[in-house]
Structure 1
Amino acid sequence: MADWAADVKKYAPHADEAVIAKVVRHCGIALQKADSSLVSFSDKAELDRVKKGFMTKKLEITDEAKADALLAEVEEAMKADRTKNRVTVYYLLAEKAGKLSVFGG
């Protein structure tokens, strides 16, 4: 199993481990396969899934421009990393949107 907390802390050094654990739980089965445990920022369909499935449903972000801006911000922050772990992407999206409280943070 990947060390999700270590990956998140590369970008958010003070990340709350309990919140990370809840994000991992939220991702659930998607983390079991290498391909689905990653987010491809070059795949429009993947980004649409992240927006609809996570940002709209979980974070309640309905403004598409805001969602796109948050995704761009996270993509920029993680650009040096060839693989973008779903847990890290979701944590950073929640953090930048001020929505860590959704996960108890």
Structure 2
Amino acid sequence: MSSKRDELIAKYAADIKEKFGETPDMDLLTKVTIGLGPAIYNLDASKVSGADDKELETVKNNYLVKKLGLSDGPELMDAVNSVVDKYGSSVKSKYRAVVYYMLCKHFDKASTYN
């Protein structure tokens, strides 16, 4: 019997394949998902609105700077916007785990989760 989390991870993996055209590293995707804690089960918290600049700023500050330990600079927002663009404007609510996973890969920060 698969847990709710496993079902969500499978959904995230499908999105990564479909929207980004790449095969996800399931180990890293699982760690990113677990890192989000209970937020993944909350409909609102589990998604990122690509059209909300304030929310994208929060992704940058809370995830890239605080979690991944990156120095703040214009390239951080560029990366966030790039992931959001690739995800597609037709997808209004993007899975937070997918956005974080793609950013983690972009900055080559998988070691953060070891």
Shorter-chain TM-score tier? 0.7 to 0.9
TM-score (norm. length: structure 1)? 0.86
Residue 52 of structure 2 corresponds to residue 33 of structure 1: no
Runs of 4+ in 1 over 4 A off after TM superposition: none
TM-score (norm. length: structure 2)? 0.80
Identity score, percent: 30
Give, as a single letter, the amino acid of the residue that structure 2 aligns with 1:92: M
Query: Mean alpha-carbon deviation: is it higher for 16-25 or for 93-102?
Result: 93-102
Unaligned runs of 5+ in 2: none
Quick one: structure 1 residues 12 and 103, their matched pair in 2 at CA, closer, same or farther if it must change by over 3 Å?
farther
Residue 77 of structure 2 corresponds to residue 68 of structure 1: yes
Residue 4 of structure 2 corresponds to residue 4 of structure 1: no
Give the length in aligned residue pairs. Answer: 104
Residue 55 of structure 2 corresponds to residue 46 of structure 1: yes
Q: 8 Å contact 1:39–1:85 — kept in the other structure?
A: yes
User: RCO (CA 8 Å, sep 6+): is it higher in 1 or 2?
Assistant: 1
Quick one: structure 1 residues 94 and 86, their matched pair in 2 at CA, closer, same or farther if it must change by over 3 Å?
same
Q: How many angstroms apart in 2 are the aligned matches of 1:20 and 1:12?
A: 15
When you count strand as a share of all residues, which structure comes out higher?
2
Q: CA RMSD in A?
A: 1.7
Q: How many angstroms apart in 2 are the aligned matches of 1:9 and 1:41?
A: 19
Aligned to 1:55: 64
Q: 8 Å contact 1:7–1:88 — kept in the other structure?
A: yes
Aligned to 1:82: 92
